[in-house]
Structure 1
Amino acid sequence: MGQKGQKQRGSLPYIGHEGGQTPFHIVIPKEPYYQGYHARKQYPPFSLLQLQRMIDLGLLNPDEPIDLSALLRVQTFQFKPRHNHYGLHLIDEGIDIFEAQVNLEIQWASEPVIAAIERLGGTITTRFYDMECLNYIVSPKENFLKGKPIPRCKLPSNDVVKYYTSAENRGYLADPEKIAEERSKLAQKYGYELPDLKKDPKKDMLLKRKDPRQIFFHLQPGWVVNLHDKCILKPTDEDLLKYYRS
């Protein structure tokens, strides 16, 4: 059956060989589309329509600052830090019917959404929380019962620090004077008259902000909330105080 055929007289290149010294799968550049996907920060969408609906139903009080803790207490959507959820992304669905004046703290927001809130006399701040703080915010009562002190919030990681220090994004680490300038620029861009916060009767509420290390309003890092005795235990050691304030 053939001792003198083509396969006996010469060797054929192996499958995939195109000649030369370098295989084709090395010559063609690699595109790692999913490299590091498991570690990417996720921000589940949360719309202006949902926010307006919560306010209309009395689930949220627009006369108080609204942050991630207040939104999660409503329990109308899923938020799971174990799935790398680092906060909520406020999207523009319902932008035409949104009519509430709020002081909102959110993790991610686009320019049209920021304009929609500020044209009504509201304020918005984009804020970062690390994973330890997010787990504490999701289950505050459980952590209070365990006697865990309120954690000190870490500063943003390198991949998002630029976003949270930008005045255009209303980052919580941005210069307040630059934020005021960007508010005026955005009003000119979208063609609305920017309300004067200094003359607003809700001025104190609208300008209320948390410390960068703080995760709850009125509660400081390092405090232990005792639900059984209905009291708050505060650290007195100088080293602990220095750590939580730094």
Structure 2
Amino acid sequence: MDDQKEYKEFTEEIFKLTNIPLHLYRENQVRRRVTLWMSFVGLKSFKEYLNYLKSSPKALEEFKKKFTINVSEFFRNPELFDELKKYIPELAKKTDILRVYSAGCSVGAEAYTVAIILNEYFKGTKYHIWGLDIDEEALEKAKLGIYTKDFFKSARTDLIEKYFNKMSQDKYQIKDEIKTHTTFLKGDLILGEPPRLDFDIVLCRNVVIYFDEEAKDKVYANLSKCLKVGGILFVGATERVFDARRFSLEYVSSFIYRKV
């Protein structure tokens, strides 16, 4: 079997086993990472590695974690969140409750960051935040809301003290007054459906960098579909939606787009 065909069968089988659509990820990037992991266990072909993953639930679980884990922290790129704050008053005026979607929410730091911002700077604004991710373990951590100090590198000390309960020297848990404004759900950004279709703000930051162009288009089409007209899409600092009009979006700033 030639290498390309073997790789294709590998991605198809992995999708059946894990629901992770590797065939929509950048091939060179996937190949490089998988080949490295194969070498760690002394295997030389995708077929051998697939059989190894099928025979070891523990190895398959570790594989899933490697492909779904995201770097996450509170107030990542705080200056970008400061920019986002400028658009919230106008959005809040137009709705009974501000609905926010954290797409690819990982362990929940982004969703809780937005909740803290709304609670701290927009008192009286009703809001709810939905977080979606494919990784069940990450979602359980998000629901629990317990974080170590390394999650707070970009967060102000006064906000940590105000919105978290200190559990130990290195562990903090988000307070219930914030947690009650969040819902975390399992879902696939590329192949699945969004939790609802009337969001005022959608955040999808540092997620699509792993996807090929076809997958990116599907993600942005889905995100646009679930935004209200006039709603805001907030992407990562180094990300850009090319030809945004295709998705009924208009460029507002280097990381903010508006649904039109």
Task: State the TM-score bracket (shorter-chain normalisation).
Answer: under 0.3
| TM-score, length of structure 2 as denominator length | 0.24
**Greater helix proportion:** 2
Larger Rg: 1
